[in-house]
Amino acid sequence: MDCLNPFHAHTPAMPAPFPEETLFSGDDPLQTLAVADPDAARLLREAISRRAIPLSETMLRYICGMILWALSAEMRFGQEVVLGVAGLLQKSTGDAVLAAYAERLRKASGTGPELATVIARHLPMLLMHGEAADLHCWDQTVDTLAHKGTYALYEPLSLIDGLYGHREMEAARGLMALLQEVFGRAFTYNRTRSLLHTICVSVQAMRPAKRVFQTAQARRLAARDPELLDAFFDGLESGLRRLNETGLREFVGRGIERLKTDGAQKAAVFFSLQSRSAKRRFESLRVSAMLGTIQERLRRYATARLGRRMGVEPISDRLLRMSLSAPDRLVLSNAAQIFLPEEMDVHDSREMNEALYPMLTRLEIGFHEFGTYGFDGVVFAAAERLDSGDSGHEPDQSDLSRFWNGFPNPLVAEDLFSILEMGRIRLLSDRRYPGIFHRAGPQLAHQLQKGSSSDSPSIWERLYRSLVLQESDPIVSGILAGATPGELFGDAPHVDQTAKLTLRLYPEFERSADRPFRFPFGWKPSPALVYESRKPLEILSRKLQDALRRRGLVVNRSRLRDMIQANGSMPDPRRIEALLPKGGSGRRALSDRVYDALREMGESIQTRSSAATLETVDVPIFWYAEWDQHTQDYLLRHVRILVRDMGEGDAALYRNTLERHAGLVSGIRRAFEMMRPQGIDIRRGWLEGDHFDYPLLVEWAVARKARTEMPERLYIKRLKDRRDVAVQLLVDLSRSTAHAVSGHSEGCSVLDVEKEAIILFCEALDTIGDRFAIAGFSGNGRHNVDYYRIKGFDDALDASVHGRISAMRPLRSTRMGAAIRHAAAQLALQAAAVRVLIVLGDGFPNDVDYKREVAVADTRKSVQEARAKGIHVHAVTVNIAADPLLDDLYGWNRHTVISDVTELPEKLVRIYSRLTKH
């Protein structure tokens, strides 16, 4: 619900007046308020002007009287009341809500202005987004906490505010119930503060999708012993957060049994996951699947199916909030990435959870493959003779969003369009990939039934079952006039047909909008995210479309967008002409209109800056700070990293290098074989282990017989000796790497030596079995630092990697600090005991406004940041003699200079063994 229903009987229909209302004496209340506080009157006027429901004169006088009363009591209290009332007015809440707000302010002011200020600040969010029953729960929570002291209200109410603001109403109710359960008991002042902070920090750290049931289990435990909450929240942080609702409920139940039988101390050890029995129990209950184990396979599948790069990334809570999605939504996407949960625990089986990842990926790709986001509102409106709206200004939303907003109830239109569109996707998928819905259908049906809020299915559920699950339903069949999905969408179904059906069926479904529809797994179109991810391209293609339309030429914008993206700038006029029907005015007249439209766009569109913007539309972007040695502080979000894939080259270079340096390669392999773990390491003298150490066991028996001191450490452990190392090679690709290496026998360039060094690195690391990645970097200015992916940590050392190494070429400048920060950030994500970053380059950083002293200071700082993360940084520099400034960059003994690749083997073994020593 958007706002509270009318309240219980004790809320007055006409609230008792405030004494300050007598000051108005027939004058405009806002003018009287402006005399006392001009800012308050201005804010109130703005809120009233945005209000959808007119405000009565009686209520206006009442509100102004309340604000004057609060201002006279205490200035800060009055300011909070002004902000609270303005928010409630803009939300168009009813008079009963404003009366409930005033009633609680009156009551709190009797205790003092501090409590009244807290209530004024935090109550409006609940009144705007909660339900009537929530207010009673909130009152009880405030009374419970206020009994401890006003200090106990600040942190919990701020968190409850945030939960209501993010539409997590169930989580807010659960938190209030937990607070009442805990703080209805007696605690010391210090323990109260500690528990308050622990609860608030822990609840805030929970994933939104799990917050409700995790809070419920915390409350269940608090009902037995609130002192165990610290251990429980520690356990969540240590791993319990990975359990699903069923698993966590069973774990807490086992812990409560432990509390009854073994006491609070052992129960605390169990809940904090510190005992072996707790860990065994946790592992037996954990059913979650991890995206990281399948992420690369999903990315390859998505890329192969779409014919263009499509990434697969974890969903963040921020992304869900930005897309206004429910916390339990499991899949969504933008133009370049599909987003899935980092861990999946919907089912009570790990195998079923793992199977959900590819299923949801296949479903989501359908929106991109079958043209859902190619809907063009202008072309559709022209075909259907509708008003397409004013598009003279830059659009701030997708065409689908604009289409939905044209209906009286956009939410109904969105849900109707989404279900119809998924029916179209089902139809097309069955024709091309019949197995997708054959496997997904039962899971979608089960999730639909699970999310149903009533025994009788709503009209939405019936439509979903009929079109997406292809189950027969007489009611839907009547609405659709008996048409099958094939008849409904036609032989060549297009997204425009979905829009036509939405227009035709909307009146029927608007009458059934009382119950919102929960899409199974949250699978539905997400046009806002797609639009935002390619907004510069959308704006440019819309402007070009408008310029053509003003000359009577209607072109589908998705085709213009694809042309601009492929071209990197405005498309050639002849390519645009090929999209247009040839009219009776002749080809010359058509060409003139196209050229006029392009001329209207202006030459600025074809400048380098615009082209650069277009080139980066589908490129992952990262922002990093940069150290300013003049101010001795960071410049925040100062450098932009553009992550790109290195192109393909001749894989024969790798093979030829191995043949040319066969002796070096053989020596490196032998040396690195010596560092490889030999297998099992037997350790003696343990208090517990795998086997008895029988000689010591004989000594123990003899000593026992002789009643002398007996040895205690009688066990042997067999330990697997494994290396756990991750290495990132970061290669300088600046234009200076094209220079010849001084004194080189074959006249090779710096980059030639770098490539040979990389190949020797690869062979060495592949021999020892350490995971490694390779990336190159270059750039031009702080907004265009290119970071080229050559090999990922999970990529095999195959022909494609060989080709990318060959494809490396001298590019532009060297903004080294940003590249090191990004490489270190990626390396820090690797689960390894030892992380090593090796920078391979030809000297010092250099870029626009990033010269010797400035660049050295920032690079040195980036190296220090990496080492603070536990990353070992070492530089291998080609072509320059030892320079004291290298010590400033990397530290003493943290860099190596070579001029010929033949120098590398002896130095590489020594460097690497030192860096990876445990």
Q: Angle at which helices 495-510 and 459-467 pack, to 10 degrees?
A: 150
Residues contacting residue 857 through CB under 8 Å, at least 6 positions apart: 627, 629
Residue 482 CA: distances (Å) to CA of 33, 427, 486? 63, 17, 11
Q: Check residue 918 and give its pLDDT.
A: 47
Distance CA 406, CA 412 (A): 11
pLDDT per position as a tens digit, 872-918: 888 888 756 555 566 666 765 566 777 665 666 566 666 776 666 64
pLDDT band of residue 857 (cuts 50, 70, 90) is confident
Closest CA to 100 of 49, 71, 135: 135
DSSP letters for 169-180: HHHHHHHHHHHH
Residues contacting residue 198 through CB under 8 Å, at least 6 positions apart: 229, 230, 233
Q: Kindly give the pairing relationship between strand 332-333 and strand 289-290.
A: unpaired
Between 422 and 697, name the one with better pLDDT: 422
Q: Check residue 647 and give its pLDDT.
A: 81
DSSP 688: S
Distance CA 116, CA 665 (A): 77
Residues contacting residue 239 through CB under 8 Å, at least 6 positions apart: 273, 282, 286
606-627: average pLDDT? 58
Distance CA 33, CA 39 (A): 9
Asked which of 323-327, 481-485, 609-613, 719-723 is least confident by mean pLDDT, the reply is: 609-613
pLDDT per position as a tens digit, 239-279: 898 888 899 999 999 999 999 999 999 999 999 999 999 99
DSSP 457: P
pLDDT band of residue 588 (cuts 50, 70, 90) is low
Locate 789 and state its tokens: 């992916």
Q: Kindly give the pairing relationship between strand 337-340 and strand 332-333.
A: antiparallel
Collapsing DSSP to helix, strand or coil, 895 comes out as strand
Distance CA 743, CA 762 (A): 26
Residue 408 CA: distances (Å) to CA of 403, 414, 522, 530? 11, 11, 24, 24
DSSP 229: H
User: Which amino acid is present at 352?
Assistant: M
Q: How far is CA 862 from the centre of its chain?
A: 25
Q: Buried (b) or exposed (e) across 45-67, using 16+ Cβ within 10 A?
A: eebbeeeeeebeeebbbbbbbbb
∠ Cα 547 553 557 (to 5°): 70
201-217: average pLDDT? 90
Q: How far is CA 873 from the centre of its chain?
A: 29
Distance CA 430, CA 828 (A): 43
Residue 703 CA: distances (Å) to CA of 59, 324, 641, 684, 716? 94, 73, 69, 19, 20
Instruction: Report the length, in residues, of the chain.
Output: 918
pLDDT per position as a tens digit, 710-755: 777 777 765 555 567 888 999 988 888 777 766 555 667 778 888 8
Asked which of 32-36, 434-438, 582-586, 642-646 is least confident by mean pLDDT, the reply is: 582-586
| Residues 610, 614, 616, 617, CA torsion sign | positive
Q: Kindly give the pairing relationship between strand 311-314 and strand 895-898.
A: unpaired
Collapsing DSSP to helix, strand or coil, 705 comes out as helix
Closest CA to 475 of 515, 441, 446, 512: 512
Residue 365 pLDDT greater than 90, yes or no: yes
Residue 362 pLDDT greater than 60, yes or no: yes
Closest CA to 398 of 531, 547, 523, 516: 531
Percent of the chain with pLDDT over 90: 23
pLDDT per position as a tens digit, 58-84: 788 888 888 888 888 888 888 888 888
Q: Which ranges of 23-131 does DSSP label H, i.e. alpha helix?
A: 29-36, 38-50, 57-73, 75-90, 95-109, 113-129
DSSP letters for 566-603: HHSSSPPHHHHHTTS---TT-HHHHHHHHHHHHHHH-G
Closest CA to 119 of 130, 106, 128: 106
* CA within 13 Å, CB half, 773: 21
∠ Cα 70 5 2 (to 5°): 85
Cα maximum dimension of the chain: 118
Bridge partners, 333 (sequence order): 338
pLDDT per position as a tens digit, 215-229: 999 999 999 999 999
Distance CA 533, CA 52 (A): 32
Percent of the chain with pLDDT over 70: 83
Asked which of 234-248, 321-335, 550-564, 660-674 is least confident by mean pLDDT, the reply is: 660-674
